[in-house]
Structure 1
Amino acid sequence: MSAPSFDSLPVELKSVQTRPLFVMRLDVKGPVIIGGTPASFRRVGIVPSGTFAGERLSGTVLDGASDWQTVRSDGSATLDVRLVLKTDDDVLIGMSYKGVRSGPPGVLDQINRGIVVDPGSYYFRINPIFEVASPKYDWLNNVLAIGVGHRLSDGPVYSVFEVL
């Protein structure tokens, strides 16, 4: 069996199509520094609030979310976030995502000091999944999303897209 090439694949497997889902803005306190553990350097961002808005759903982010970050030796960070969205029509949606924020050391240092930098100067991506009990938003249970982030002084803003 030989390895397939992109040229030999059906058109559906040659690219990824997306549809805008929402833009989300999070307020983040911290970070709370746990420090250098045997596994990594750990810090936690506390998320007391936020908002999201899109064509199919909009609302607020409830207090109680957190962003457990692993800081790598090169200064990049992996994110592990869990939060609860509350839609404008009072439906609760669990949202979790992993992510990566990386870039040149000087840019990452500025971000860590709360300085807003050009979003094109670093890489910041997430992969949200959702859990919801409401029939109205049941479609979200079968969505894998991707997001592009930008770190502002008091938290990130994300453009989130449904992967079709």
Structure 2
Amino acid sequence: MEHFEAPGLSFLFNIELTIDQPYHLGVTPIGNRQIIRVNDGYFRGEKLNGTVVPGGDDCTTLLDDGTIMQDVKILLKTYDGEYILMTYQGIRTGSKDVLKRLDNHLVVDVNEYYFVTQPKFETSSKKYDWLNKRIFVSRGKRTPDKYNYSIYTVGD
């Protein structure tokens, strides 16, 4: 069977999220859960720039090996006044040593762990309607009080 060339990636923007301390729910029927409030942030790119509206949440599931499964919802506001809902699911994992350093709020080189998400955007904006019709991926970095992501459009 014929296979197709892998789609390329085009840089969309970098985003930085300032976060609060996690609220630990403990082990629920879903798993070991915590909620991390997104306080604010900003995003910068060639086509899209703005701020993160305070109040989004990162609902994480902590696996026994230290892996974190993310489910995030945040609201973006572009500098030209448009609102965009950004949701993403992601995975952050690595060796036990690396995950322990991250959990202890130490700075860890981004190449030492796997941190990938799949953002989705939803907007009523005519100008940014193209965001509703694309697939995106990102690579993340965890610092003591922030999440940083570089977001890419797939195949564009």
Taking structure 2 as the reference length, what is the TM-score of the superposition? Answer: 0.96
Task: Give distance in 1, aligned partners of 2:146 and 2:37.
Answer: 10
- Deviations 1:23-63 (CA, angstroms, capped at 9, x unpaired): 00000101110011233100111001010000001000001
CA apart distance, 1:69 = 0.3
Q: Which AA in structure 2 matches 1:54?
A: G
2:118 matched to 1:163? no
Task: Give distance in 2, aligned partners of 1:84 and 1:144.
Answer: 18
Match of 2:103 in 1: 112
Task: Give distance in 2, aligned partners of 1:62 and 1:39.
Answer: 28
2:81 to 80, 90, 95: 90
Secondary structure of 2:21 counterpart:
strand
Instruction: Provide runs of 4+ in structure 1 moved above 4 Å.
Output: none
2:120 matched to 1:123? no
Secondary structure of 2:107 counterpart:
coil
Task: Give distance in 1, aligned partners of 2:130 and 2:42.
Answer: 21
Q: Which has the higher helix share?
A: 1
- Deviations 1:100-149 (CA, angstroms, capped at 9, x unpaired): 00000111111111111011110000000101111111111101110000
Task: Give distance in 2, aligned partners of 1:55 and 1:39.
Answer: 39
2:49 matched to 1:58? yes
Greater gyration radius? 1
Taking structure 1 as the reference length, what is the TM-score of the superposition? Answer: 0.92
> Once the two structures are aligned, what percentage of the paired residues are identical?
37
Unaligned runs of 5+ in 2: none
Q: Which AA in structure 1 matches 2:85?
A: G
Secondary structure of 1:38 counterpart:
coil
CA apart distance, 1:16 = 2.2
